Amino acid sequence: MVLTSVTLAGLTSTAILGDYIYFGHVQTLGLQKYDYVSAVICGVCGGLLGGLFTQLLLRGLKLSHHIFSTRSLIYPILFAMLCGLIISLLALSSHSFIYGTGYAQVKSLLDNQDNPSLIFGPLKFLSTLISGLSGIPGGIFAPSLSIGAGMGADLYQLFHSSPLTTMTLLGMVGFFSGVVQSPLTAFVIVLEMSDDHQIIIPLMIASILAYGVSRLISEKSLYHTLAQRFIKQYKMKTSVFNA
């Protein structure tokens, strides 16, 4: 059923919008001898940050649920308002470039059209984390790619071991794999979104390394834990309704 749904969705999208790639046809300089070093750097850093993001979000959600479950509804509303205020202040400090999914910034990095900002990745990390803690998440998937792209751009500034476009892709797959802890899924998604098959091996290395490092920090993946929590809440609500 899942495969059928994915196939039908892809066919429908192609029929309406035509053949397209999410980030367009990304052009790297091909496989360079230092790309394997860059893959290791982005994989380790992506796993560390991805595991840290997962732990902070899951522990924060657990703590907020414990605090607000026995209090008036006004408290979680006030907390959500506070989170919104903090995100707004972060956005103002960054000239509003952390709003949304971060697609425009990532696209600019992949096209090598703009000098990377060192604060984009960290601020996007904080804003996505706070959004998730508020109880009104603005999404995890697309922002994770943006955070990873920002991380890759920052690592490019530090090491210059590979071109900016390559470091951006490696950062994306590293952080995303660290969050979802599904290395094959992360690798294939970034590969399909960029349509760049020249650095397949470095992308795979970064994805697998990020998965391993992330597991050292967080034993469970973010999506799996959230899904289990939703199922538990649904069963509790169903049992109350039936009673």
Domain ranges of the chain: 45-234
Give the whole-angstrom CA distance, residue 92 versus residue 115.
20
Give the whole-angstrom CA distance, residue 180 versus residue 190.
13
User: Which residue shows structure tokens 């999506």?
Assistant: 223
Two structure tokens written together for 176 = 């995303």
User: Which residue shows structure tokens 């070093």?
Assistant: 37
CATH class of 45-234: mainly alpha
Two structure tokens written together for 79 = 């907390």
- Nearest CA to 134 among 70, 210, 75, 176? 75
Alpha carbons within 13 angstroms on the beta-carbon side of residue 147 total 28
Is it the case that residue 113 has pLDDT exceeding 80? no
Inter-residue contact 209 to 47 (CB < 8 Å): yes
Of the listed ranges 85-89, 101-105, 207-211, the least confidently predicted one is 101-105
Of the listed ranges 107-116, 169-178, 213-222, the least confidently predicted one is 107-116
- Size (the chain), residues: 243
Average pLDDT over residues 99-126: 84
CA-to-CA separations, 195 to 22, 33, 38, 77, in angstroms, rounded: 9, 21, 20, 43
Q: Which residues of 92-121 are buried (b: 16+ CB within 10 A; e: fewer)?
A: eebeebbeebbeebbbbbbeeeeebbeebb
What's residue 139's pLDDT?
80
31 CB neighbour count, 10 Å cutoff: 14
Phi, psi of 160 (to 5 degrees): 55, 30
Is it the case that residue 108 has pLDDT exceeding 70? yes
What's residue 241's pLDDT?
64
The C-alpha torsion from 119 through 99 and 149 to 188, rounded to 10°, is 160
- Nearest CA to 120 among 133, 107, 111? 107
Is it the case that residue 80 has pLDDT exceeding 70? yes
- Nearest CA to 181 among 56, 58, 54, 36? 54
Is it the case that residue 99 has pLDDT exceeding 70? yes
Query: Which residue has better confidence, 187 or 197?
Result: 187
Average pLDDT over residues 24-44: 84
